[in-house]
Amino acid sequence: MRFVLFFVCICFLSFSAARAEGPYQFLDWEITYGNISRLGVSQQAILINGEFPGPKIECQTNENLIINVRNNLSDPFLLSWSGLQQRKNSWQDGVSGTNCPIPPGQNFTYRMQAKDQIGSFYYFPSLAFHKAAGGFGAIRIYSRPRIPIPFPPPADEYTVLIGDWYATNHKSLQDMLDSGKELPPPDGILINGKGSTDAAHFAVEQGKTYRLRISNVGLQNTLNIRIQEHNMTLVEVEGTHTVQNTYSSLDVHVGQSLSVLFTADRPAKDYHVVVSARFTNATLLSTAVVRYAGSSGLASGPLPAGPTDDVDFSLNQARSIRTNLTASGPRPNPQGSYHYGSINVTRTIRLASSAVLVGGKRRYAVNGVSFAEADTPLKLADYYNISGVFRLGGIPDAPAAAATTGTAGGAATDDAPPPAATGTGDGAAEEVRNETAVMDSDHRSFVEVVLENGEDSVQSWHLDGYSVFVVGMDVGTWSNKSRDGYNLVDAVSRCTVQVYPRGWTAVLIALDNVGMWNMRSEVWARRYLGQQFYLRVYTPSRSFRDELPMPDNALLCGRATAAAATNSSRRLPLPRLY
C-alpha cells in the first residue's frame, strides 16, 4: 500500500513538474463595452482593460500564461487564441465546442502553456459576432535565448494588426445574418485599431532593421500590405521560420499572421504603409506611417500601387513561401528535420464548402453539413459521455451523396438526430443538414486534407490545435494526379491556409494532439452560419501522457451541469498553478 501511494505521489509530482516547465506570467483582464470612433462613426466596441485593440501578450517558448478574464459585458463571452496549439489541452481553447461561456459578471482563468512554440499569433473573441466589435490583440512567442534565430536581432519589433471594419454595430451585423441576409461589404480597414485619419505610426532610425509582426484580424477580406519605397523580407509565418524571400507587397489572408524585416535605408522622412483589400469590388484602403528619426517631411507622393486582382500573382507568391530547413524552431534541432514527405498517409479527407439557402435563409456548409451550435460544449459532452449532443461521423470524408448518412462511433454521442434541410446554393440544388457534426480521428494518424472551393471568392481555413504542412494549391479541380505536384520537402507549416476561387489547397497533418479541435472558415459570416465543424482526435487511454485532465476551474453549463453532479469521481483536477 505504501508503495502504491509513493508511486502515485511521484507520478503526480512528475506531472506537476512537467506543467511547471518555464516561467509564469499572470495577467488580469477586464472585458467591457466602450464607445470608439473609427471611420468617422461612433460605435460600441469590446475593450480589454480599456484598450482597443487589447493588450499585447509577450512570452517565451514554454512559458505558462495565467490569464484571468472578467466578463463585464451584458453577453456571455469567450476568448480564443489563434495559433496557440494548446498541447494536450483543448480545455483552454476558448471556443463554444470546448468551453462554457463566461457569464456576464463572472470570470474564468485560462491556464495554458506556449509549449514548444515560437512565432506571431493573435487572440480574439469567439462567440456570437463579437469579433466585429474588437476584443482582439497580438501574441508574440519569442525563442529561448539559447536557441538561435536565423537573422540578426532587429532594432525593434512592431505589431501590425490589420483588418476590415464595419461602421455598423456588431449586434446589427449579427441580426442581419440571423434574418438570412448577407452582410454588405466592410466600410474600411483599420491598422492597429486606427484609420487613415488617425494613422498608426512606426518610429525608425536610418540604417537599422525592424521586424513587423502582421496579423489579419478582420472578418472577410484578403489584405495586401506594402511600405512606400521599401522592400520586406519574409522571415516567419505562424511559428515557422521561412526561406527569406524579398517582396514589395504581401497578401495576408483573413486569419493569417506573418513576420517581415525591413531596413530603414531611405532618406529620413515619413513613408506610407498601405493596406488594401484584394479580390473585392469595393475599394478599401488604409495607411499608416513609417517615421524616420529627424524626419524632414510628411509622407508624400503617390501611394505604392498594389497588385491587381489577378489570382495568379497571389497564388505564385503563396507557393514561394517555404520552410527554412536550416533554421531552428522552438527546440535546438532544425525545424526542417521533420520528414513529413516520407510518412504514409493513413486517410484522405476532402472538404468542399458551399453557400446555400435553407428555408429562405443563407447558410454555409461543409460536405453538405451546416454546423448547428449545441446546448453543451462538445468537449464536456464527450468527457461525461452525454448522448444526443453531437454525432460522430456527421461530417463525411468527401463531398458525395454519402454526406447524408454519416458513420457513428466512439463515445455514446452518436444518437443525436440529424435534422435535414433542403438548400439551394447559387442555383444548384444541394441537400444540406443542420447538425452538430463531429469528425472522428485516431491519435497519431497522418492525414491528407484537401480543401475545395467551388465559389468565386477566396476562402480561408483554420484548424485549432495544429500547424499543417501546406503541400499544394492551385485553381481548377483536385484529382489524385494533383499529388504529383505536392511539395514534400520544405512546405510551410502554418495554422491558417487560403483556398483560391474555383481552386483547392492540400495540407498534411500529423494528428498528435488529443482533444476536440475547431476546423472553421476564417470568413466570419461563413463560420457563424455553419462553415465549421469539430475534429475529435481520440485515444481510448485516459493518460496524462496523451491529454491533460479537465481543469478544476472549468465552467459547467447545459447538460454538463447535471452530468458533473452525478459523475464527480471522473473529474480529475489539474494541479493548481498558482
CA atoms of 452 and 531, how far apart (whole Å): 13
Q: What's the pLDDT score for residue 316?
A: 97
> For the domain that residue 134 is a member of, what is the CATH number?
2.60.40.420
How many domains is the chain built from?
A: 3
β 515-521/532-538 pair status:
antiparallel
Residues 402 and 396: their CA atoms lie apart, in Å, by 7
Looking at the structure, tell me whether residues 47 and 175 fall in a common domain: no
Answer yes or no: are the C-beta atoms of 169 and 38 closer than 8 Å: no
Does 472 lie in the same domain as 378?
yes
Give the span between the Cα atoms of 524 and 218, in whole angstroms. Answer: 9
| Domain endpoint, select from 267, 294, 310 | 310
User: Is there a single domain that holds both residue 393 and residue 460?
Assistant: yes
Report whether 411 contacts 382 (CB < 8 A): yes
Same domain flag for 103 and 161: no
Specify if 125 maps to a domain.
yes
- For residues 161 and 297, state if they share a domain: yes
What is the structure's pLDDT at 196?
A: 79
What is the Cα–Cα distance from 183 to 282, expressed in whole angstroms? Answer: 13
Instruction: Give me the sign of the Cα torsion angle 485, 491, 493, 498.
Output: negative
**Are residues 166 and 84 located together in one domain of the fold?**
no
Q: Is residue 301 part of a domain?
A: yes
Tell me how crowded residue 332 is: count the other CB atoms within 10 A of its CB: 10
The contacts found for 243-250 with CB under 8 angstroms, 24 or more apart, are: 243/320, 243/321, 243/322, 243/323, 243/324, 243/490, 244/150, 244/151, 244/324, 245/320, 245/321, 247/317, 248/304, 249/224, 249/225, 249/304, 249/306, 249/307, 250/214, 250/224, 250/225, 250/226, 250/317
Domain boundary among 96, 128, 146: 146
Q: Does one domain contain both 306 and 157?
A: yes
Alpha helices in 245-347 (DSSP H): 311-320
407 assigned to some structural domain: no
Asked, for residue 1, whether it belongs to a domain, the answer is no
Q: C-alpha grid cell for residue 163?
A: 483588418
Alpha-carbon distances, residue 251 vs 46, 195, 200, 247 (angstroms): 27, 19, 20, 10
CA pair distance 458, 201, nearest whole angstrom: 30
Max Cα distance, the chain (Å): 81
Same domain, 504 and 369: yes
241 within domain boundaries: yes
State the Cα–Cα distance between residues 324 and 332, nearest whole angstrom. 14
pLDDT value of position 171? 97
63 CB neighbour count, 10 Å cutoff? 21
Closest alpha carbon to 412 in 393, 386, 430, 437: 386
Do 102 and 164 have their domain in common? no
190 in the same domain as 124: no
Which range of residues forms the domain containing residue 511? 340-399+432-565
pLDDT given at position 21: 60
Report the first-to-last Cα separation within the chain, whole angstroms.
31
What are 210's three cell numbers?
Answer: 525592424
Cell representation of residue 440: 472522428
Per-residue pLDDT of the chain (578 residues; tens, 9 = 90+): 333 333 333 343 333 434 446 799 999 999 999 999 999 999 999 999 999 999 999 999 999 999 999 999 999 999 999 999 999 999 999 999 999 999 999 999 999 999 999 999 999 999 999 999 999 999 999 999 989 999 999 999 999 999 999 999 999 999 999 999 999 999 999 999 998 788 999 999 999 999 999 999 999 999 999 999 999 999 999 999 999 999 999 999 999 999 999 999 999 999 999 999 999 988 899 999 999 999 988 999 999 999 988 899 999 999 999 999 999 888 877 776 789 999 999 999 999 999 998 888 899 999 999 999 999 999 999 999 999 999 999 999 999 653 333 333 333 334 443 444 444 444 344 689 999 999 999 999 999 999 999 999 999 999 999 999 999 999 999 999 999 999 999 999 999 999 999 999 999 999 999 999 999 999 999 999 999 999 999 988 878 889 999 999 999 999 999 999 887 655 544 433 32
Q: Which of 112, 128, 146 is the last residue of a domain?
A: 146
Q: Are residues 345 and 250 in the same domain?
A: no
Q: Over 41-56, what HEC string results?
A: EEEEEEEECCECCCCC
Q: Are residues 39 and 177 in the same domain?
A: no
Return d(Cα 48, Cα 123) in angstroms, integer: 12
Q: Is residue 405 part of a domain?
A: no
- Give the closest residue to 481 by CA, choosing from 511, 508, 499, 506: 506
In a domain, 335, yes or no: no
Q: How many helices (H) and strands (E) does the chain have?
A: 6, 35
Residue 576 lies in a domain: no
